[in-house]
Structure 1
């Protein structure tokens, strides 16, 4: 089995449509508020907090949006694989391939705050197997690697 899985990444309106289709396929409704939250999240270049998203959605709607409402929607998005949570930052990123379920390995830059993810089924599969061997069930590996992204590392070398 290959450790890397290739899939189609969506962006822009195609990402929003793919997310809507995935949420509806999971038996959930795609409401205007969920659409607004997903679009705000997908528009972020870096992991975003629920407060950042609530502010963005509130600005777009012309009225305050409670962060608690956004947290509930983000939790739904994580459960249905539309978003991923960066645990160490308590922030979220849109999943660019919502129809595909993988454990995510985040590479987080300590300088600029960017986060990219890679899928490596060999690594996360080994983690799942080790946890299951230790008696854990419903294992969800969370792997975050902190360092400096290529761009920030180049800037330090100058």
Structure 2
């Protein structure tokens, strides 16, 4: 069964991310806000270096990628962002108050990503791992191919 959730965009996305992070006991600092805003501004998955460059331009000062990596790690742990493992890149989570395993569809033509929520499939992956004696923490399912535009 597909998962139902509220998807945020624009300023509502930033507000939802802030509320979700603060509800988890973390602070929404100016730097975290800058990193989130920069990440949200990318149409495709962005690396920590891409984000550091965008924040550096916005702040008119150099921001180290190491600082961005630490914030991204927090964002992933707190469900504000998701990591595209095969690309070593990140995307914002448009529904940060909703925690579930996503299936990423990655276009090899244009680089855009989409995600599908299918709790039955991801639960089956978790169950298969558990049946093998493995304790799954964060299943990652990525499907590479061509989006509808690139396939045409």
- Out of 16, 19, 27, the position equivalent to 1:18 is 16
Residue in 2 that maps onto 1:29: 27
Residue in 2 that maps onto 1:40: 38
Residue in 1 that maps onto 2:86: 88
- Give distance in 1, aligned partners of 2:45 and 2:24: 24
- Give distance in 1, aligned partners of 2:6 and 2:138: 23
Ranges in structure 1 where 5+ consecutive residues have no aligned partner = none
- Give distance in 1, aligned partners of 2:82 and 2:30: 21
Kindly state the Cα deviation for residue 56 of structure 1 after the two structures are TM-superposed.
0.2
Kindly state the Cα deviation for residue 138 of structure 1 after the two structures are TM-superposed.
4.1
- Give distance in 2, aligned partners of 1:125 and 1:135: 15
RMSD, aligned CA: 0.7
1:74 aligns with 2:75: no
- Give distance in 2, aligned partners of 1:49 and 1:7: 26
Which of 130-139 and 70-79 deviates more?
130-139
- SS of residue in 2 equivalent to 1:135: coil
- SS of residue in 2 equivalent to 1:93: strand
Deviations 1:69-96 (A, max 9, x none): 0000000000000000000000000000
- Give distance in 2, aligned partners of 1:147 and 1:119: 18
- SS of residue in 1 equivalent to 2:106: strand
Kindly state the Cα deviation for residue 139 of structure 1 after the two structures are TM-superposed.
2.7
User: TM-score, normalization: structure 2?
Assistant: 0.98
- SS of residue in 1 equivalent to 2:128: helix
Runs of 4 or more consecutive aligned structure 1 residues displaced over 3 Å after TM superposition: none
- Give distance in 1, aligned partners of 2:69 and 2:116: 25
Ranges in structure 2 where 5+ consecutive residues have no aligned partner = none
Aligned length in residues: 152
Residue in 1 that maps onto 2:7: 9
